Amino acid sequence: MLQIKRKRNYGIDIARILSMFMVVVLHNLLQGGVLDFDSLGTANLMYFYLENLCIIAVNLFALISGYLMVDRKWKWQKLIVLWCTVIFWSVVTTGSFMVFRGTFNVKLLIKSFFPVLLKQYWYFNGYIVLFLLIPFLNAGFKYLEEKVISSVILALVLLSVTVGFIGNLFEQGGYTAFWLIVMYLVGAWIKKRQPIIKPIWLLMIYFGGAMVSLLGEVLSIVKIGHVDSWIKYNSPIVVVQAIAILLFLSNLKVTNNKVCQWLTSVSAMTFTVYLIDGNHYFYQYVLTNSFSFIKGVNLFSGVITILIGSIVMFMIFISVEYIRTSIMKKIR
Which residues 6+ apart lie within 8 Å of 48 measured at CB? 35, 214, 217, 227
Question: How confident is the model at residue 284, as a pLDDT?
Answer: 92
CA dist., res. 75 & res. 278, Å (int): 26
Question: Which residues of the chain carry a pLDDT beneath 50?
Answer: 1-6
CB 233 within 8 A of CB 175: yes
CB 125 within 8 A of CB 274: no
CA dist., res. 189 & res. 195, Å (int): 9
Domain housing 324:
10-331
Q: Is 4 among the domain residues?
A: no
CA dist., res. 193 & res. 56, Å (int): 22
Q: What angle do CA 298, 299, 300 make, to 5 degrees?
A: 95
Q: Which of 233, 275, 281, 255 is nearest to 88 (CA)?
A: 275
Q: Is 294 among the domain residues?
A: yes
Determine the angle formed by the axes of helices 122-143 and 177-193, rounding to 10 degrees. Answer: 40
Query: Which amino acid appears at position 316 of this protein?
Result: I
Question: How confident is the model at residue 135, as a pLDDT?
Answer: 96
pLDDT tens figures, 94-113:
999 999 888 888 999 999 99
Q: Is 42 among the domain residues?
A: yes
Percent of the chain with pLDDT over 90: 82
Listing DSSP states for 99-118 in one string gives HHHT---HHHHHHTT-TTTT
CA dist., res. 281 & res. 251, Å (int): 38
Query: Which amino acid appears at position 312 of this protein?
Result: V
pTM as predicted: 0.93
Question: How confident is the model at residue 1, as a pLDDT?
Answer: 40
Residue 271: count other Cβ atoms within 10 Å of its Cβ: 20
Task: Name the average pLDDT for the chain.
Answer: 93
Question: How confident is the model at residue 228, as a pLDDT?
Answer: 64
Total count of residues recorded for the chain: 332
Q: Which of 315, 323, 303, 312 is nearest to 17 (CA)?
A: 315
Q: Is 156 among the domain residues?
A: yes
CA dist., res. 16 & res. 62, Å (int): 10
Under the phi-then-psi rule, with left for phi > 0, alpha for psi from -120 to 50, and beta for the rest, what region is 289? left
Which residues 6+ apart lie within 8 Å of 171 measured at CB? 160, 164, 178, 179, 234
Q: Is 1 among the domain residues?
A: no
| 3-class SS of residue 51 | helix
Question: How confident is the model at residue 39, as a pLDDT?
Answer: 85
Q: Is 45 among the domain residues?
A: yes
Residue 278 to residues 7, 220, 260, Cα–Cα distance (Å) = 33, 28, 28
Question: How confident is the model at residue 329, as a pLDDT?
Answer: 85
Q: Is 5 among the domain residues?
A: no
Q: Is 67 among the domain residues?
A: yes
Domain count, the chain: 1
